[in-house]
Amino acid sequence: MLRSWFVRLPLRWRLTLWYAVLITLALAAFAGALYRTVSASLHKNLDASLGRVASSLDYIIKQKQQESRTPLRRPFRRRHGVVLFEQPPLRRDTLGADSAGSEPDVVWMAIYEHILFNARTFLIQIADTSGTILWRSAGTQDTLPTFWELVQSEPLPPPYPLLKTVVVGGQHYRVAAVRSPLVEIVVGYPLTEIEQTLGELFAVLKIGLPLVVVIAVIGGYWLARSSLRQVDLITRTAQEITAHHLDRRLPMPASGDEIARLTATLNDMIARLEESFQQIQQFTSDASHELRTPLAILMGELELMLRRPHTAEEYQTALASALEEVGRLSKVVEGLLELSRAESGQTQMDWERLNFTELVAAVAEDFAVLAEEHGIALTTTLQPYVQIIGDRARLQQVVINLLDNAIKYTPRGGGVCVQLQVEDASAVLMVSDTGIGIPAEDLPHIFDRFYRVDKARHRTPGGSGLGLSIVQWIVQAHHGSISVESSEGSGTSFRVRLPLDPRDGRAYAESERVQPVRSR
């Protein structure tokens, strides 16, 4: 349920919540790491300081005893409630005056000189090797644990120095203990200051982190809203674009970010849709025109035949005209169905390895008779044995359409030339004529469906306007290309390029001679 509620939220709020959660987790992890790092650093520094004090005192006592050459004695006396060992006799050059008027020991002077912490909170306790306390720092009300009390739970031999946290007088102390052949030294320092410092740090983090999260969430919402403002504008504009307003485009942001790239992609898509709609409208208009004309002729002739009785010859003429228009309708419908199946991927190709030279020669031979009837010279120049992989019937349809157009638009006394040769591992078929040509403004559209150059130039009626569209589709289905060059009044040349059969091991250039198959 929580997930469905989250999904129903606006995108800006979802981004803000995700941002808030990530910021909170990141800051919490940072705060925890900071707290642990500071705590570990404080405790590490305290342990190092305690260890240095204990080790230094142990070293000082050893040095001073060696200098005085007098061992620590066991007689004790009690002063101010603290057990002290009685001062041994020392040389005069080491004497001074203490608060009780007795002769001081340089050992204890050195102890006070090497205390590194505040004397009010720093505790030092020295005992002999039997555990009897010899000296404690002034102001100490409670006795620190002895070395042996501290070492009970530690493995033997204990670490040097031995570091532990103990409770003395209801207060936590961190102590360091060392033991030598002379004495046992325990140095302690209360953890109050560290705990107070960590408490202050925790209070700062407890107050600062929520404040930072609130500021981050507000900033994240503002950022998400600013970033999605362009999306809102795109949405409003897209809602206004319909089939009748495909000329409109989405506003392009100047940022160049992902939104800009998305906007550019959507504008390209709208441009393609506009082009498709225009093509559909043009196709509908052209198809309606192509179908309406023969239907109107067919209907008019049939109505005329039904108005009154006619002779057998008149009925025969009307039926022949009607059959001609039905054939024209059939050609248009078949062409449309063929292109529709091709675009939907339903057309199956019968691929085979074939000799393209023989195919072109056979078609050219069939059209030679038609060209001769129209007073047109048809010449062929074909390179022998050009092997390709293709659909024989479809490729034959390509050659037929190109030759049919060439003869149809070439006046009497003109010429049509068919050439086939190999160029750069491709079979190149060229069909050229000396006909009326195509104006430059019409060249980009001659492969469009139902597109026709000025119909007044049609010498032979009956074309469906789909022939070149079908030719282009067949060539592209064979992974080839087709191009045209023409100028009005100077003829037209179609150039078809198809890939050669890659399995043919023989060199197509084995015979560089170009021999004619048939010339008329």
Would you say residue 326 lies in a domain?
yes
Q: Find how far residue 134's CA is from the centre of its chain.
A: 76
Alpha carbons within 13 A on the beta-carbon side of 308:
3
**Pair 188, 310 in one domain:** no
Q: Which long-range contacts (CB under 8 A, 24 or more apart) does 501-506 make?
A: 501/353, 501/387, 501/388, 501/389, 503/353, 504/387, 506/385
**Pair 40, 164 in one domain:** yes
| Contact (Cβ atoms closer than 8 angstroms) between residue 450 and residue 287 | yes
| pLDDT one-digit tens code per residue, 188-237 | 888 888 888 899 999 998 898 888 888 888 887 887 777 777 777 777 77
Domain boundary residue, one of 197, 230, 246: 197
Domain boundary residue, one of 343, 372, 397: 343
**Pair 97, 117 in one domain:** yes
| pLDDT one-digit tens code per residue, 237-253 | 777 777 666 777 777 77
**Pair 301, 376 in one domain:** no
Supply the range of the domain harboring residue 373: 351-510
Q: 190: which residues sit within 8 A by CB, 6+ positions away?
A: 121, 171, 172, 173, 174
**What number is the average pLDDT over the span 382-408?**
91
Would you say residue 219 lies in a domain?
no
Q: Give the pLDDT confidence score for residue 253 in this predicted structure.
A: 73
| Contact (Cβ atoms closer than 8 angstroms) between residue 152 and residue 99 | no
Q: What CATH number is associated with residue 96?
A: 3.30.450.20
Q: Which range in 411-420, 453-462, 495-504 is most confidently predicted, on average pLDDT?
A: 411-420
Q: Provide, rounded to the nearest whole percent, the portion of the chain with pLDDT above 70.
A: 73
**DSSP three-state, residue 307:** helix
Q: Give the pLDDT confidence score for residue 507 in this predicted structure.
A: 40
**What number is the average pLDDT over the span 51-64?**
82
Backbone angles phi, psi at 519, to 5 degrees: -135, 135
Would you say residue 516 lies in a domain?
no
Q: 187: which residues sit within 8 A by CB, 6+ positions away?
A: 50, 53, 54, 57, 122, 123, 124, 125, 175, 176, 177
Q: How far apart are CA 221 and CA 215, in angstroms?
A: 10
**Pair 296, 390 in one domain:** no
| pLDDT one-digit tens code per residue, 153-165 | 666 667 778 888 8
Would you say residue 395 lies in a domain?
yes
Number of folded domains in the chain?
3
Compute the C-alpha angle 415/418/424, nearest 5°. Answer: 145
Confidence class for position 23, pLDDT limits 50, 70, 90 = confident
Domain boundary residue, one of 343, 371, 388: 343
395 CB-contact burial (10 Å; exposed 0-12 / middle 13-18 / buried 19+) = buried
**Pair 145, 270 in one domain:** no
Residue of higher predicted confidence among 5 and 55: 55
Confidence class for position 508, pLDDT limits 50, 70, 90 = very low
Does 465 score more than 80 pLDDT? no
**CA 304 to each of CA 296, 298, 316, 336: distance values in angstroms, whole numbers, following the listed order:** 12, 10, 13, 30
Q: How far apart are CA 152 and CA 166, in angstroms?
A: 13
Nearest residue to 408 via CA among 365, 370, 444: 370
**Pair 381, 484 in one domain:** yes
89 CB-contact burial (10 Å; exposed 0-12 / middle 13-18 / buried 19+) = exposed
162-168 and 171-179: which strand pairing?
Answer: antiparallel
Q: Give the pLDDT confidence score for residue 459 in this predicted structure.
A: 40
Q: What CATH number is associated with residue 313?
A: 1.10.287.130
Element (H, E) at 222: helix 192-240
pTM value is 0.47
Q: What CATH number is associated with residue 400?
A: 3.30.565.10
Would you say residue 369 lies in a domain?
yes
Would you say residue 208 lies in a domain?
no
Residue of higher predicted confidence among 94 and 183: 183
Q: How far apart are CA 504 and CA 510, in angstroms?
A: 12
**Pair 90, 112 in one domain:** yes
Whether the bond between 157 and the residue before it is cis, its omega within 30 degrees of 0, is yes
Would you say residue 206 lies in a domain?
no
